[in-house]
Structure 1
Amino acid sequence: MLSPFFSDRALRAIEGKQPLDQLDLLREYVEQAERDKQAGYGPPEDDINIVRRRFIRIASEIYRGRAS
Protein backbone atom coordinates (compact mmCIF):
# COMPACT_ATOMS: atom_id res chain seq x y z
CA MET A 1 0.00 0.00 0.00
CA LEU A 2 1.29 3.43 -0.93
CA SER A 3 1.28 5.81 1.96
CA PRO A 4 0.50 8.63 2.08
CA PHE A 5 -1.56 9.39 -0.99
CA PHE A 6 -0.01 11.60 -3.63
CA SER A 7 -2.38 14.50 -2.91
CA ASP A 8 -1.74 14.28 0.84
CA ARG A 9 2.02 14.46 0.30
CA ALA A 10 1.70 17.36 -2.12
CA LEU A 11 -0.62 19.36 0.12
CA ARG A 12 1.55 18.77 3.19
CA ALA A 13 4.61 19.93 1.24
CA ILE A 14 3.10 23.39 0.70
CA GLU A 15 2.08 24.03 4.31
CA GLY A 16 3.61 27.24 5.64
CA LYS A 17 5.03 28.29 2.26
CA GLN A 18 4.33 31.53 0.44
CA PRO A 19 1.63 31.31 -2.26
CA LEU A 20 4.03 31.58 -5.21
CA ASP A 21 6.23 28.88 -3.69
CA GLN A 22 3.14 26.74 -3.20
CA LEU A 23 2.31 27.08 -6.89
CA ASP A 24 5.83 26.04 -7.88
CA LEU A 25 5.74 22.98 -5.63
CA LEU A 26 2.30 21.89 -6.78
CA ARG A 27 3.27 22.33 -10.43
CA GLU A 28 6.34 20.15 -9.87
CA TYR A 29 4.25 17.47 -8.15
CA VAL A 30 1.71 17.39 -10.98
CA GLU A 31 4.39 17.33 -13.68
CA GLN A 32 6.15 14.40 -11.98
CA ALA A 33 2.86 12.57 -11.53
CA GLU A 34 2.05 13.03 -15.22
CA ARG A 35 5.48 11.66 -16.21
CA ASP A 36 4.92 8.69 -13.90
CA LYS A 37 1.50 8.04 -15.44
CA GLN A 38 2.99 8.07 -18.94
CA ALA A 39 5.61 5.57 -17.76
CA GLY A 40 2.83 3.24 -16.66
CA TYR A 41 2.62 3.97 -12.96
CA GLY A 42 1.79 6.90 -10.77
CA PRO A 43 -1.06 8.17 -8.63
CA PRO A 44 -4.72 7.90 -9.61
CA GLU A 45 -6.03 10.70 -11.81
CA ASP A 46 -8.48 11.76 -9.09
CA ASP A 47 -5.57 12.28 -6.71
CA ILE A 48 -3.73 14.39 -9.28
CA ASN A 49 -6.89 16.43 -9.84
CA ILE A 50 -7.09 17.27 -6.13
CA VAL A 51 -3.67 18.89 -6.44
CA ARG A 52 -4.64 20.63 -9.68
CA ARG A 53 -7.72 22.11 -8.01
CA ARG A 54 -5.61 23.40 -5.12
CA PHE A 55 -3.22 24.97 -7.63
CA ILE A 56 -6.12 26.74 -9.35
CA ARG A 57 -7.53 27.95 -6.03
CA ILE A 58 -4.20 29.40 -4.90
CA ALA A 59 -3.61 31.02 -8.31
CA SER A 60 -7.10 32.56 -8.17
CA GLU A 61 -6.45 33.96 -4.71
CA ILE A 62 -3.17 35.50 -5.87
CA TYR A 63 -4.84 36.99 -8.94
CA ARG A 64 -7.73 38.44 -6.90
CA GLY A 65 -5.25 39.93 -4.43
CA ARG A 66 -3.27 41.63 -7.17
CA ALA A 67 -6.36 42.82 -9.03
CA SER A 68 -7.63 44.69 -5.96
Structure 2
Amino acid sequence: MGQDTPLGRWVRGLSERTHKNVVVVALAARLARIVWAVLRKERGSIRRSQRHRNRRSSAAELMVAAICGW
Protein backbone atom coordinates (compact mmCIF):
# COMPACT_ATOMS: atom_id res chain seq x y z
CA MET A 1 0.00 0.00 0.00
CA GLY A 2 2.14 2.97 1.16
CA GLN A 3 5.87 3.36 1.29
CA ASP A 4 7.90 3.21 4.48
CA THR A 5 8.10 6.99 4.85
CA PRO A 6 6.47 9.21 7.45
CA LEU A 7 3.73 10.11 4.98
CA GLY A 8 3.27 6.48 3.95
CA ARG A 9 3.00 5.36 7.58
CA TRP A 10 0.47 8.13 8.22
CA VAL A 11 -1.65 7.00 5.25
CA ARG A 12 -1.50 3.35 6.33
CA GLY A 13 -2.51 4.21 9.90
CA LEU A 14 -5.35 6.40 8.72
CA SER A 15 -6.60 3.76 6.27
CA GLU A 16 -6.81 1.24 9.10
CA ARG A 17 -9.11 3.59 11.03
CA THR A 18 -11.30 5.26 8.39
CA HIS A 19 -13.03 4.78 5.05
CA LYS A 20 -10.89 4.99 1.91
CA ASN A 21 -12.69 8.13 0.69
CA VAL A 22 -11.77 9.91 3.91
CA VAL A 23 -8.14 8.82 3.42
CA VAL A 24 -8.08 10.20 -0.13
CA VAL A 25 -9.46 13.58 0.93
CA ALA A 26 -7.16 13.77 3.97
CA LEU A 27 -4.12 12.92 1.84
CA ALA A 28 -5.07 15.53 -0.77
CA ALA A 29 -5.48 18.16 1.95
CA ARG A 30 -2.14 17.26 3.52
CA LEU A 31 -0.31 17.37 0.19
CA ALA A 32 -1.93 20.72 -0.62
CA ARG A 33 -0.67 22.11 2.71
CA ILE A 34 2.82 20.79 1.98
CA VAL A 35 2.82 22.37 -1.49
CA TRP A 36 1.51 25.65 -0.06
CA ALA A 37 4.30 25.71 2.55
CA VAL A 38 6.90 25.08 -0.15
CA LEU A 39 5.44 27.84 -2.31
CA ARG A 40 5.45 30.32 0.57
CA LYS A 41 9.05 29.51 1.41
CA GLU A 42 10.08 29.71 -2.26
CA ARG A 43 8.33 33.03 -2.73
CA GLY A 44 9.97 34.48 0.36
CA SER A 45 13.45 33.47 -0.73
CA ILE A 46 12.86 34.73 -4.28
CA ARG A 47 11.56 38.06 -3.03
CA ARG A 48 14.62 38.48 -0.84
CA SER A 49 17.08 37.59 -3.59
CA GLN A 50 15.34 39.11 -6.63
CA ARG A 51 13.28 42.03 -5.40
CA HIS A 52 13.14 43.94 -8.68
CA ARG A 53 12.71 41.09 -11.13
CA ASN A 54 9.43 39.45 -12.14
CA ARG A 55 9.38 35.68 -12.24
CA ARG A 56 7.34 33.08 -14.01
CA SER A 57 5.05 30.70 -12.18
CA SER A 58 6.82 27.68 -10.77
CA ALA A 59 5.70 24.13 -11.49
CA ALA A 60 4.37 23.83 -7.93
CA GLU A 61 2.26 26.99 -8.35
CA LEU A 62 0.82 25.66 -11.60
CA MET A 63 0.03 22.32 -9.93
CA VAL A 64 -1.79 24.02 -7.04
CA ALA A 65 -3.69 26.23 -9.46
CA ALA A 66 -4.80 23.21 -11.49
CA ILE A 67 -5.85 21.25 -8.38
CA CYS A 68 -7.64 24.14 -6.69
CA GLY A 69 -9.13 25.62 -9.85
CA TRP A 70 -7.42 29.02 -9.45
User: TM bucket by the smaller chain?
Assistant: 0.3 to 0.5
TM-score, normalised to structure 2's length? 0.46
Larger relative contact order (Cα-Cα within 8 Å, sequence gap ≥ 6): 1
